[in-house]
Amino acid sequence: MTKTALDMLQRVSRIFADIGGVALTFMMCLTVADVVLRTFDYPIMGAYEMVALSLAIVIGFSIPKVSMDRGQVYMEIILERLPSRKRAILNTFTRILCIILFSVIGWNLFLVGNEFLATGEVSPTINIPFFPIAYCMSVCCFLECLVFVFDIVKIWRGQYD
């Protein structure tokens, strides 16, 4: 794994996080506009559907960047007391489990996307197709797997803090 590959993964994760940020901003603006317009009896048709689909984008597209930045909560009380080799083994084991989990989730989301595409499944009110969201979430899961692979490399190179 080269520095260039890591830089590319960081750039792609950053772009995905930015997309998630745009989706979050869209959700907030849409919700505020819908609440304001409801007071005048002009609700935005399909606002609930658009917010729900945007939430999927926010969560899925943000996961790789959060993992790269180690922004999630860690319980390191036990890990801190282990020798560095055992800590590396345990960290590697958990990353392998995560790779398996996200691979399964990503593959299943890809299959669900195929099913949505084949059946033409759309949201009930404004007919937004579901398959692009499922495919995008699948890509995010596979990108997360790459983040974990790079974590394993960093662990064994002694670059993982």
Higher pLDDT, 87 or 66: 66
Report, as an integer, the average pLDDT of 94-112: 97
| Cβ count near 146 (within 10 Å) | 21
What gap in Å lies between CA 101 and CA 104, rounded to an integer?
5
Instruction: Kindly report the pTM of this predicted structure.
Output: 0.87
What gap in Å lies between CA 135 and CA 70, rounded to an integer?
25
Confidence band, pLDDT 50/70/90 cuts, at residue 82: confident
What gap in Å lies between CA 117 and CA 129, rounded to an integer?
8
Which residues fall within 8 angstroms of residue 9, CB to CB, at 6 or more apart? 68, 143, 146, 147, 150
- Integer-rounded Cα Rg, in Å, for the chain is 19
